[in-house]
Chain A
Amino acid sequence: MKALATVITQPAHPPSTALSTHALSAGHGKHRVIESLDFALPENQVTAIVGPNGCGKSTLLNTLGRILAPQGGHVLLDGIDIHHLPSKQVAQKLALLPQETTAPEGMTVLDLVRFGRQPHQPWYSQWSAEDQRIVKAALKAANLLDMQNRELDKLSGGQRQRAWIAMAIAQDTPLLLLDEPTSALDLGHQIEVFELIRSLITQGKTVAMVVHDLLNAARYADHIVAMHEGAIIAQGSPKEILTPELVYELYQVRCDVINDPVNGAPLLVNIRR
C-alpha cells in the first residue's frame, strides 16, 4: 500500500462527480432490458453490480457509460443529461473499460496507456509534460512501470488487464466503469486486478463494476447493486444485503451466509439447489 500511496495524483477535479439515472429504460433494439430505473452511484466507493445472466447489468453499465443510448429517461452526469454534453467533456469525467478488449498486434503497454490521454489533448499537444506525469502515475499504480515497452500480446492475462485499467486510469476521470474486469482470469490474476481497483478508491475515484462472482463482489466492493430482470432488487453494503433470501431470488440456489473469519466479509457456504 505504501508504494501506491506515493503515486497518487492530487485530485484534479472536485471530488464529487455524481452519476445517476432518472426513469431510465434501456435495451438492444426491440428487446428492452431495463424499465424506468432510478439509481445513483455512491461516490468514492467501489460499487459492484451483480445478478444472473441477462439481468441487465452490462446494459446498465453501458448505458451509464453512454455506449448505449437510453430508450427512455436520462443518464445524469452532475445533474446534466449525459447525451447533451459534448462527448469529449464526458470523457474527461467518466472512463469505461469494455468487456471485450483486443489490442492490435505489436502494441506496447505504453502505446495503450497513452490512449487514455486523448480526451485531454488538443491536436497540437500529443505528449505534454502533464501527459507524461499522469501516464507514468497510471503505469505505476498498475505496477507496470518496468513493462511499459513490452508488447501486450506477450503479457499474461492479468498484466494485460492491468494495462487496460491503467489506460482508464490515465484518462484521469473521477468515475470509472468496468465491465467484468476479471472475466477469463485465473484466481491469482483476479486478485491482482481487484486489488488495483481497490487502490483507486484511495485516490478519490468512484468505481462501478459488473462482477459475475458474488464472493468477489462481497470482498472487494463497498456497495452491491443486485439486479434481476432489469430492476434493482436490493442494494447496500455487502454485509447488509447479502442474505440467503437474496441469493435465492437472484440465482434460485439455497445457501448459508457466514462471515469470513479473517476479514469479516460475508461468505456463501453450503450452496445447493
Chain B
Amino acid sequence: MQILPFQQPRQPLPLAGYWRLKAFNQRITLLVSQRATWVNMGLVLAVLAASTMSLGMGSVQLSPAEVWLALAGEGPAMHQLVVKELRLMRVLAGIGTGAAFALAGCLMQTLARNRLATPGIIGIDNAATAFAVASVVGVGSALAPPAMSLVGAITATALIFALAGSSGTQGYRFIVVGLGIGAIAGAGTQLILSWVAIDDANAAFPWTIGSLNARSPDAFKLLCAGLALGVFFAYRLAKGLNALRLSETVPTTLGFNIKRLRAASLVLAVFLTGLAVAVAGPVGMVALLGPEIARALCRHRGLPILASALAGALLMVLADLLGRIMLAPLEIPVGIVTAVVGSPYLLWMLLNPNFRSQP
C-alpha cells in the first residue's frame, strides 16, 4: 500500500455555531460560541429588566424611567433616596449572591459529574449558615459572619470528604454523606437559635432560611471580590472541566492534572458558596437551577460559566421580587420562594424515568 503525503493547503473545516476570530496570520485563533453570546446578552438584558422592576417596586412605586433617572442622579431627591439608598444594595446583593451560588453549583456539578451534586444539596450551605449564625449571635463583629461562613463551608467539605472515604466526589456516596451533614448542620442552626435570647433569634431567623434583608455591606464587598476572582479562575479551569464532562479519564489523557483540576474547582465552589451564604443565607436552589437553565439555553455546548452566573443572578432577583410583592406588605424570604419554586423542578428531575445524572 502506498502512503501519500498529506496535501498541505486544504479548505478549512468550518465549525458550525462559532465565530472564529483570528489575528497575526492565524497565530491567534479564538472561538466564540454564537449561541452562548446571544444567551448571555439575553440574560444580561433580563437581569437588567428584573433589577429595574425590583428597584421600582415597594412602598413607593416607580416607573422604569423614574428608576433609571434616579440611578443617573436625576429626578426628585425622594426617588434618588429610595432607589439608591434603600433598594440598590438589595438588588446588587441579589445579583452577586445569585451569580456566586450558580457559578459554584456549575463548578461542583461538573467536577463531580453529577447534576445533583450542588453545594446546597450536599449540605455546604447549611454548614456555612450554622457557623455564621453562631458568629452573629455570639461574636457580633461586622466581618466575623462571612469569615465564619467560609470556615463552615470548608469544615463541611472536609467532613464530607473524610467520611466519604476514598471514593471522593465519584459516585453517590458523598451525596448521601452530604445530605446527612446538611441535616445535622440545619439542626445545629436551630439549636443555636433556641439557645440565644428570643430577640436575637428572631433577628437571625429570616437569614437562616435565606433572605436578602440582613446583608451586611462588608460581606457584600467580600462577595464582589470573590466573585470577580471566581469568574476569572473558572475560565482558567474551563478547558479541563470541559474535558471532564466526557469521562473521568479524558482530562488526564489530554494532559490535564485531574487532581489539581478537581481540587481547584472544589475550592472555588466552596469559597463562592461560603461568601454568598454570608450575604444571603442558604439559598441552595439557585445553585441547582441556575446551571440547569444555562445548560438548557446553551444546548450543552461547552461549560456555561458566564451563563450560569447570569441565570443565577436573574433567579435571585426575580425570587426576591416575587417574595416582596406576593404577600405585600409581608415579605417572604427569598429562600422560601426558591424552595417553593425550585423543589417541584428538582422532584420532576429526580422522578423523570430518563433522568441523566451527568451534567
Answer yes or no: do A and B interact.
Answer: yes
Interface set of A (CB-CB < 8 Å, partner B): 1, 5-10, 29, 62, 65-67, 86-92, 94-98, 100-108, 110-112, 114-116, 118-119, 123-129, 131-133, 135-137, 148-149, 168, 171, 202-203
Shortest Cβ distance from B303 into A: residue: A104
Shortest Cβ distance from B7 into A: residue: A6
B352 contacts A by Cβ under 8 Å: no
Docked CA distance A136–B11 (Å)? 10
Apart from A91-B253, A133-B6, what are 12 other A-B pairs with CB-CB below 8 Å? A1-B1, A95-B253, A98-B247, A98-B250, A104-B300, A104-B359, A112-B246, A119-B255, A124-B27, A127-B18, A127-B20, A127-B29
- Whether the Cβ atoms of B6 and A8 lie closer than 8 Å is yes
Docked CA distance A100–B250 (Å)? 10
- Whether the Cβ atoms of B301 and A127 lie closer than 8 Å is no
Docked CA distance A7–B3 (Å)? 9
* Among A92, A107, A110, A137, contact of B300 (Cβ-Cβ < 8 Å): A107
- Whether the Cβ atoms of A119 and B254 lie closer than 8 Å is yes
Interface core residue of A6, A66, A100, A132 (most chain B CB under 10 Å):
A132
* Among B1, B300, B301, contact of A202 (Cβ-Cβ < 8 Å): B1
Shortest Cβ distance from A103 into B: residue: B246
Interfacial chain A residues near B253, Cβ < 8 Å: 65, 67, 91, 94-98, 168, 171
- Whether the Cβ atoms of A136 and B301 lie closer than 8 Å is no
B141 contacts A by Cβ under 8 Å: no
* Among B26, B245, B255, contact of A118 (Cβ-Cβ < 8 Å): B255
Docked CA distance A123–B249 (Å)? 21
- Whether the Cβ atoms of A111 and B301 lie closer than 8 Å is yes
**Shortest beta-carbon distance from B25 to chain A in Å:** 10
Docked CA distance A260–B299 (Å)? 50
- Some 18 contacts from A to B, beta carbons below 8 A apart, are A5-B3, A8-B3, A10-B5, A65-B249, A91-B253, A96-B253, A98-B249, A101-B247, A102-B358, A103-B245, A104-B245, A106-B299, A110-B15, A115-B246, A115-B250, A118-B254, A126-B29, A127-B30
Interfacial chain B residues near A66, Cβ < 8 Å: 252
- Whether the Cβ atoms of A5 and B249 lie closer than 8 Å is no
Interface set of B (CB-CB < 8 Å, partner A): 1-6, 10, 12-13, 15-16, 18, 20, 26-31, 166, 239, 242-243, 245-250, 252-257, 299-301, 356, 358-359
**Shortest beta-carbon distance from B293 to chain A in Å:** 15
Interfacial chain B residues near A136, Cβ < 8 Å: 10, 13
- Whether the Cβ atoms of A100 and B247 lie closer than 8 Å is yes
Interfacial chain A residues near B248, Cβ < 8 Å: 98, 100
Interfacial chain A residues near B29, Cβ < 8 Å: 124-128, 131
Docked CA distance A91–B3 (Å)? 26
- Whether the Cβ atoms of B3 and A127 lie closer than 8 Å is no
Interfacial chain B residues near A119, Cβ < 8 Å: 254-255
Interfacial chain B residues near A96, Cβ < 8 Å: 249, 252-253
- Whether the Cβ atoms of B12 and A129 lie closer than 8 Å is yes
Interfacial chain A residues near B6, Cβ < 8 Å: 7-10, 133, 137
Known: A5-B4, A87-B256, A104-B300. A132 touches B28 (CB 8 A): no
Interfacial chain B residues near A131, Cβ < 8 Å: 29
- Whether the Cβ atoms of A29 and B358 lie closer than 8 Å is no
Interfacial chain A residues near B252, Cβ < 8 Å: 65-67, 87, 96
Docked CA distance A87–B240 (Å)? 13
Docked CA distance A98–B246 (Å)? 10
Interfacial chain B residues near A127, Cβ < 8 Å: 15, 18, 20, 29-31
- Whether the Cβ atoms of A107 and B255 lie closer than 8 Å is no
- Whether the Cβ atoms of A105 and B356 lie closer than 8 Å is yes
Docked CA distance A88–B251 (Å)? 10
Interfacial chain A residues near B16, Cβ < 8 Å: 108, 110, 149
Shortest Cβ distance from B240 into A: residue: A118
Docked CA distance A66–B27 (Å)? 31
Docked CA distance A135–B31 (Å)? 16
Known: A8-B6, A65-B253, A129-B12. A106 touches B301 (CB 8 A): yes
Shortest Cβ distance from B28 into A: residue: A124
Shortest Cβ distance from A128 into B: residue: B29
Which 4 pairs across A and B sit closest by C-beta, in order of nearness? A91-B255, A88-B255, A106-B300, A98-B249
Docked CA distance A123–B30 (Å)? 9
- Whether the Cβ atoms of A118 and B300 lie closer than 8 Å is no
**Shortest beta-carbon distance from A140 to chain B in Å:** 10
Shortest Cβ distance from A132 into B: residue: B13
Interfacial chain A residues near B18, Cβ < 8 Å: 127
Interfacial chain A residues near B249, Cβ < 8 Å: 62, 65, 67, 96, 98
Docked CA distance A64–B15 (Å)? 34
Docked CA distance A118–B242 (Å)? 11
Shortest Cβ distance from A98 into B: residue: B249
Interfacial chain B residues near A102, Cβ < 8 Å: 246-247, 358
**Shortest beta-carbon distance from A158 to chain B in Å:** 19
- Whether the Cβ atoms of B255 and A90 lie closer than 8 Å is yes
Docked CA distance A34–B250 (Å)? 23
Shortest Cβ distance from B257 into A: residue: A87
Interfacial chain A residues near B242, Cβ < 8 Å: 115
Shortest Cβ distance from A130 into B: residue: B26
Interfacial chain A residues near B26, Cβ < 8 Å: 128-129
Interface core residue of B5, B13, B243, B249 (most chain A CB under 10 Å):
B13
Docked CA distance A168–B254 (Å)? 9
Docked CA distance A184–B252 (Å)? 24
Docked CA distance A48–B173 (Å)? 35
Docked CA distance A121–B117 (Å)? 31
Interface core residue of A67, A87, A124, A127 (most chain B CB under 10 Å):
A127
Docked CA distance A101–B16 (Å)? 24
Docked CA distance A203–B359 (Å)? 36
Docked CA distance A1–B4 (Å)? 12
